[in-house]
Amino acid sequence: MNDFKTEVRDGMAIDWDVPITMDDGAVLRADVYRPLGEGRYPMLMTHGPYAKGLPFQTGYAFAWNALERDHPEALADSSNKYQAWETPDPEIWTREYGYVCIRVDSRGAGRSPGRIDVLSPRETQDFHDCIEWAGTQSWSNGKVGLTGISYYAMNQWQVAATRPKHLAAICPFEGAADFYRDAVRHGGILCTFWIRWYPVQVSAVQNGLGERGKSNPNTGELIAGPQTEPPEALAARIADLPAEQRAHTLDDDYFRQRTPALENIEVPVLSRGNWGGLGLHLRGNTEGYQRAGSRQKWLEMHGYEHWTEYYTREGRAMMRKFFDHFLKGEDNGWEKTAPVQLNVRHPDRFIKREEQEWPLARTQWTRHYLDASGKTLREVPPGPASAHYRGFSPGITFWTEPQKTELELTGPVAAKLFVSSSTADADLFLTLRAFGPHGREALFTGASDPNNPVAYGWLRASHRKLDAGKSLPYRPYHAHDEAQPLTPGEIYELDIEIWPTSIVLPRGWRLALTVAGQDFDHGLPGPMPRTYGGIEMRGCSLHLHDDPQDRPAEVFDGTITIHSGEDHPLHLLLPVIPA
């Protein structure tokens, strides 16, 4: 007798709360959406802590309303009754495209009992077990594909590196790959996104909330389990993520256990990133593409909000062609797709372009030197000079002259600075910016902020040590295995990674680099929105570095001095693409 309910509705056979037994005997619960009719079908799976029964429209109304308002065609092909945050819509993928869609509540979340420990080795093993379970079901053709946004992209990198035999292809859409560098500690500085995210998106749907949680409108069942347990019982079954992330300042076992060996990935990869994914949803896609061991891999970079291109018809069509080829075996021409698909960003539009590699082979790596005296970015090294700013301040901005011709920058960016501090450490926040002829800054709709600048980079000066084996001229790679405090007043050479970008500056536009001791704030009044979905938008969304325990004022609010000159050739390395 089945320990779950099956019904036929809206052109699908739906199995609600299917039990999947893990290697340690724990049981997770999944909803399985199957095409009608006998047969064996390919599968798309997501596995995560957001509660499979929580409707997109209810749990994330701010994003749903924006998608409905700005991109109505993305929602026009479905009743949207089964939409869930950052996962595929089964009405489209199951009923129309012929895939089994499987949504699994990860251990301790939603309808699955247990202890929540996000992105942990235990959770990755659970995901592995779910894939192997799906590959042997009577309705399965043995080929599982993984898809999904953000968290559902991050854990794709993780589980693919464990090589489940039934895993056939992955499409990580805007998700970090390195838990330390991409997500939690940018340049060694704690990002408080995860501390804010945890109670809102994870513990809010913890298994055991029962009647204190919401209900699934499609089943009437409580999304966080039938039992209503006291808060102290729930607290005992969830990892203390804020305490863990504050305590682990280096790239130690805590982070290494949550960061996959990308070189171990063998299945075909379609990595889809966002130029505006600053702080979480960008670096993982480019690094994942470059470092994945797969012989068949593709990179696609786009813009707009974090969720938009996952749901648009065009965005779905790309994923469908990829999965149809590798999960259904269709000879649909996917193998002829260029390895790199770029939506090259202009101030007012995107232009699609196919490329053969990343970074682009024809890149002209060009240095612009920072002049501490004139606050300029120039093509030749300046004379000796220095400039200083307070640690907790907007810092100093360096400017190019107006562009005489159109300039395209597409690729990774790096900076070399020579700095001294009045204290034993300093946090460096670098912001690459673009300004029009009349001085107005160009800000872009990003993954989770409507007012992003061009690019960001970060480094804690005591984390300046490089990993020589992984560093590239255009992408410094810091070891983060020890802290090396500064001697106040002594000058130190710092190599700083700035996340990849794409921007075409028209003639007359200026590029600027801000070096500061705090997160960027565009500070614009008037028509530009200051809030979005109830969250204050400063250009960084929730990807802030504002934890007083991590950044005590007595250490990080000192005087930072920037030194330039022949002995201190501080510069910005830019990926110039010839016209």
pLDDT at 518: 96
Residue 510 CB neighbour total at 10 angstroms: 18
Write out the two tokens for 406.
């159109």
- What mean pLDDT is reported for the chain? 96
Q: What domains appear along the chain, each with residue ranges and CATH number?
A: 5-173+307-337 (3.40.50.1820), 364-577 (2.60.120.260)
Please report, for residues 45, 60, 318, 366, the alpha-carbon distance to residue 64 in angstroms, rounded to integers and kept in the order given.
Answer: 22, 6, 22, 42
pLDDT at 348: 94
pLDDT at 532: 67
pLDDT at 526: 54
**Residues of the chain whose pLDDT is less than 50?**
1
Write out the two tokens for 250.
């280096």
pLDDT at 541: 85
pLDDT at 458: 98
The stretches of 23-106 forming alpha helices (DSSP H) are: 56-59, 61-70, 90
User: H-helix or E-strand containing 508?
Assistant: none
pLDDT at 263: 98
pLDDT at 224: 98
Q: How far apart are CA 238 and CA 225, in angstroms?
A: 15
Q: Is 514 exposed, middle or buried (0-12, 13-18, 19+ CB in 10 A)?
A: middle
pLDDT at 1: 41
Sign of torsion, CA 80 81 85 86?
Answer: negative
